Structure 1
Amino acid sequence: MSSDPPGFELPLRLFLGFRTLIDELHAELARQGHPDLRPMHGFVMQAIGTRGTTAAELGRRLGVSKQAAGKTVDTLERLGYVERASDPDDARRKIVRLTARGADSLTRSARVFDALRARWAETIGEDRLRAMEADLRTLTPHDVFRLDVPGWFGYQ
C-alpha cells in the first residue's frame, strides 16, 4: 500500500493554491477601492494590454467568442475599468483600452501578488518557495502569460 497521495490530489492542490492567491488578491483589491473586480476581469484587462485591442482580437486572446468578450467589456466599461474609442488607424473599428482606473487595478494587483508571495516565503521559507517555483517552471510550458484560461474553462 502506497503512502503517496492519489494522483488526482496534485491538480486539486495546484488549483487550490491558485484559488487561495486569487481570493486573497481580490479581498485586498476590494479594500483598496476595487470591490467589483472578479478573477475573469484580470485576464481580460491583461489581454487588453497597454495599447488596447478590438473585441474580436480580445476574444481570440482569451479563447472565447467575440460576444463573450464583448459582454465582459460591457461590464468593465460600466465599472469604469475600460473604455471604447475609435481606432486611429481605422475609424470603422472600435478599440477597447484601459482607463486610469483599470491601469491602477493592475498596478495594485502586481503589488499585492508580491506581498502574497512574500507571505508564502515567510510561511514555508524562501528556499522552499524558490525550489517550488523552479520545479513548476520545469514542469510547465514557458509561456506563463497564457490568457486563454476563460476559453479553456469553457466561458463562452
Structure 2
Amino acid sequence: MTETVQNLPLLLAGAKRWLDDALTASMRAAGEQPLSSAQGQIFALLDPEGTTVAELARRLGVTRQTAHQAVHGLLALGLLEQVPDPSSARNRLIRITTEGTRVHRRAQATLDVIEGVLADRIGVAQATALRTALTLPRGEPPVVEAP
C-alpha cells in the first residue's frame, strides 16, 4: 500500500495549527486568557484609529456574524473597545485597549520565541526560506483546469 502525499493546503493548515497550539499553550502557561485563532488575527487586522466589524469580516474572509462573535469575546475580556465612528453615525469602530496592547505585545514576543524553536527544529536556513517563500507576491489566485 502506498502512502498518499499530503497536499499543500493540508500541510499549511497543519503548520498553522502547530503555531496556534504553541501560542495558546504558552499564553495559558503565562497566565493569559487563551484566545481563539480568529480572535488573535483580529489584533493584526485592526487599524490604529479603529476598524468596523464589517471591514474586519472582509479582512478575515468570514461573515459579519463570525467577526462580530470574535470581537464580542474580546470586548468582554477588555482587550477591545467600541467607539463611535466619526465618519458615520451608523457605524462603530473597534479599537484595541491598553490591556489589549499589552496582551498583543506578549503574544508577538511569544511567537518570536516559537519561531526560534521552529528554526532550531527544522534548521535556520529552512525557516528563513519558509518565511521568504510565504512573503513573496503570489498575484491573483489562478483559475486552472485539472489535466
Both proteins in one fold, TM over 0.5 = yes
Would the aligned equivalents of 1:29 and 1:105 in 2 still touch at CA under 8 Å? no
**Alignment correspondent of 2:71:** 73
| Structure 2 residue 88 is matched with structure 1 residue 87 | no
- 1:137 is displaced (CA, Å) by 4.5
2:36 equivalent among 35, 38, 57: 38
> Which structure's relative contact order is higher, taking Cα pairs within 8 Å and 6+ residues apart?
1
Alpha-carbon distance change, 63 to 10 in structure 1, aligned in 2, over 3 angstroms: closer
Would the aligned equivalents of 1:49 and 1:98 in 2 still touch at CA under 8 Å? no
For 2:52, give the aligned amino acid: T
Would the aligned equivalents of 1:58 and 1:69 in 2 still touch at CA under 8 Å? yes
Paired with 2:59 and 2:11, the residues of 1 have a C-alpha distance of 27
Aligned length: 140
Paired with 1:142 and 1:32, the residues of 2 have a C-alpha distance of 39
For 1:68, give the aligned amino acid: T
**Alignment correspondent of 1:153:** none
Once the two structures are superposed, the pairs formed by residues 2-151 of structure 1 within 5 Å of their partners are 6-137=4-135, 141=138
For 2:53, give the aligned amino acid: A
Paired with 2:49 and 2:30, the residues of 1 have a C-alpha distance of 25
Match of 1:94, SS? strand
Paired with 2:103 and 2:139, the residues of 1 have a C-alpha distance of 26
What TM-score, normalized by structure 2, do the two folds share?
0.77
- 1:67 is displaced (CA, Å) by 2.6
Match of 1:83, SS? strand
Match of 1:97, SS? strand
Paired with 1:102 and 1:34, the residues of 2 have a C-alpha distance of 11
- 1:78 is displaced (CA, Å) by 0.7
Alpha-carbon distance change, 64 to 10 in structure 1, aligned in 2, over 3 angstroms: closer
Structure 2 stretches lacking a partner, 5+ long: 141-147
- 1:115 is displaced (CA, Å) by 0.6
Alpha-carbon distance change, 89 to 64 in structure 1, aligned in 2, over 3 angstroms: same
Match of 2:70, SS? helix
- 1:41 is displaced (CA, Å) by 0.4
Alpha-carbon distance change, 99 to 7 in structure 1, aligned in 2, over 3 angstroms: same
Q: Deviations over 1:44-97 (max 9, x none)?
A: 222223221112222222222323322222111111111111123444431111
